[in-house]
Structure 1
Amino acid sequence: MRLLAAAVILASTASAQPLDLREDPGLSDALVGLTEAAGLGGSFDVGEDGTQVTSLVVVDLAGPEPVWGGVAPDAFLYPASVYKMYVAAEVLRQVLEGRYDLDDPRVVTPHNAVDTAREVLSDPRPLLAAGDTVTVGYLLDLMVTRSDNSAANELIDLATRPAVDSLMHRYGWEGSEVTRKFLPRSVEDEGYADVPSTMTSGRHAAEFLALAATDRLVHPWVSRRLVALLTNQLDKTKLAAGLPREAVYAHKTGWWSFWTHDVGVVRDGEVHYAIALLTPVLEAEARPRMAEVGAAVHALMRARGAR
């Protein structure tokens, strides 16, 4: 029965297609204006990575047909911990397929136990240590809600990078491949020490989230479990800081060096949209600007819904 169920699931997801969304030029123009007003427009010097731009994409899910608007939607940036949501989706897909269960134990390998401090200091859960036995579900929760790097490394090994890439390519998101784990290149796994950095774009992240928000990412079970994990995100210092308290925001943040990002799905009454904001700006500088963007986008989406 388990094999039969897996076959049915695989058949139902094999024909997954990229989103065919129409751009709303008015929405794009508005996003350009509010991005510039928040100090995130133009280009930024990020050292050896040269000049980079902010990528902002919003998919309005409240109307009869989803539409999108964006600023540099196809600019690829290093996503930092944002790409953990891609890993989570593939892990959940494999659970649905029956390869393993969320309650299955996994022993943390010394190679993957890299964290020396909790990414969210208010979270009381201890750091993962080599030899710890924890469940797949616990690793998923740590990776998404606390952005735990050790948990991410374990789950990248479990899911495998080629499998994550295959999931992304199924929807046409080439260029958003997961190439690296969260550890120095000097200790990367064989064959991965010299690969390019993982990258993603605002368009890919927003489309991924739009599919999850509408139960169309792989399978409704995968979509809903992923959104549930993202809803418990502990970092509220970026876009979330500009949203009203009554808004439900399921999201994943990421930050490292020059890169500071927040991507997610917002629900507030009839207002419903996916948003991806990727910036080449240091976190301390980006946080207040991102909060400003969060507030401005939400006001814009409320106004669109009132028309």
Structure 2
Amino acid sequence: MKRICLMVWCMCLLNTGFAQTPHLPPYFRRNDNLNRELKKIVTSLGLAGNFDVGEDGIEQISLAVIDLSSGKPQFAGVNADNFIYPASVYKMYVAAEIFHQIYLGEIALDSTIVVTFPNIVDKTREISHDPRPLLQHGDIVTINYLLDLMITRSDNSAANCLIDIAKRERINAMLQLYNWHGSEVTRKFLSRKYEDPGYEKIRGTETCALHAADFLYRVQTNQLINPWVSMQMKVLLGRQLDNSKFACGLPLKSMMFHKTGWFAYWTHDVGIVDDGEVCYIVACFLPLRESQALKIYPELARQVDQLIHKR
């Protein structure tokens, strides 16, 4: 198994220098009408153009919606195959591999680790109303505690610890298994000067709405590795503390199982939306500062949700 993971990781390294074009999986049906309506929404909200993201140049939105309400999953997107910096969204890929290793019996939810430098990077709590203290050098914590911090509060220190436990080679072997080429986890959440040997100059992590949406589709349908891993992921995503983005524009009856991410020019929300009547996946990557994106997300969510309900 280790040899297979190493071979896959070597292939990942060979492919990290250029973006790859993702292909729509055969279990999705591209819905032209849904696609047209989604593009209208994006255009009406001023999200259809190019955005200046500083030294990274020009970026575009990456958006995917999968309607799961009836029959074969209906897919629509706007630049859904556009690779973009995911901020903290890729922490859900890390969590999936951690759950995989727990299922295999290699580690346990109640296994403890000692938190050490340089993984300690957070200076403030990402969710200010969460009372849990910042991780400190020498803290002894469980994997379960780290998972919850990483997903629900988007804690970067917890993510660094879990990336070390899961190992990037194995996280990426899982991503490659589902053909999510180009979405490999290459970086931890720390300065390059503190990166592990071999990772100091590697390209930054990227993903696209298609891959994130496909990941969540597998979570929802119990096909991410196996039903146990899928259900553990859904429970964890359902405890998200940041509901300031896409989730804040949904009706009160809706439940969103999701992961958000925000940093500099990027503000994202990806998740499963279910209100008992309709169920859909949304993966929205906005190349906007959080202060700008928070003004748009409520209306974007309202219109997308109405679009799905009208179908």
| TM-score normalised by structure 2 residue count | 0.91
Distance 2:61 2:163 in 1: 27
Matches within 5 A, 1:286-301: 286-301=293-308
Which structure 1 segments of 5+ residues have no match?
1-17
In the alignment, is the contact (CA less than 8 A) between 2:146 and 2:159 conserved in 1?
yes
Distance 1:177 1:155 in 2: 15
2: CA distance between counterparts of 1:73 and 1:20? Answer: 16
Match of 1:152 in 2: 159
Q: Deviations over 1:180-199 (max 9, x none)?
A: 00001121111111000000
CA distance in 2, matches of 1:247, 1:301: 13
Select between 130-139 and 29-38 the one with higher mean Cα deviation.
Answer: 29-38
The answer on 1:66 being equivalent to 2:73 is yes
Measure, in 2, the Cα distance between the counterparts of 1:144 and 1:88. 8
- C-alpha distance in structure 1 between counterparts of 2:54 and 2:102, whole Å: 41
Question: Which residue, 204, 217, 241 being the options, matches 1:210?
Answer: 217
Residue 20 of structure 1, CA deviation: 2.8
Alignment of 1:41-52 (within 5 A): 41-52=48-59
| Shift of residue 19, structure 1, vs aligned partner | 5.8
RMSD of aligned residue pairs (Cα, Å): 0.9
1:36 corresponds to which of 28, 38, 43: 43
SS at match of 1:189: coil
Structure 1 partner of 2:264:
257
Equivalent residue of 1:77, what SS?
Answer: coil
- 1:51 positional shift: 1.1
Report the alpha carbon displacement of residue 264 of structure 1 after superposing the two structures with TM: 0.3
Task: Return the match for 1:127 from 130, 134, 140.
Answer: 134
1:102: which partner in 2? 109
The corresponding residue for 1:8 is none
- Match of residue 231 from structure 2: 224
TM-fit CA distance, 1:270: 2.0
> Is the CA contact 1:39–1:289 (under 8 Å) kept in the aligned structure 2?
no
- After TM superposition, the structure 1 stretch with the greater mean CA deviation from structure 2, 43-52 or 278-287, is 43-52
Give 1:146 shift. 0.1
- Is the 1:252–1:263 contact (alpha carbons within 8 Å) kept by the matching residues of 2? yes
- In the alignment, what sits opposite 2:276? 269
Corresponding position of 1:279: 286
Q: TM-score, normalised by structure 1?
A: 0.92
Q: Find the residue that maps to 1:273 and give its secondary structure.
A: strand
SS at match of 1:241: helix
SS of residue in 2 equivalent to 1:266: strand
SS of corresponding position for 2:274: strand
Out of 141, 145, 160, the residue aligned to residue 138 of structure 1 is 145
* Alpha-carbon distance in structure 1 between the residues aligned to 2:53 and 2:177: 32
Segments of structure 2 that go 5 or more residues without pairing to the other structure are 1-24
In the alignment, which residue of structure 2 is the partner of 1:10? none
Inter-partner Cα distance in structure 1 for 2:55 and 2:117: 31
Contact 2:28 2:74 in 1 (8 A): yes
SS in structure 2 at match of 1:175: coil
Q: Which consecutive segments of 4 or more residues in structure 1 shift more than 4 A? A: none
Aligned residues: 287
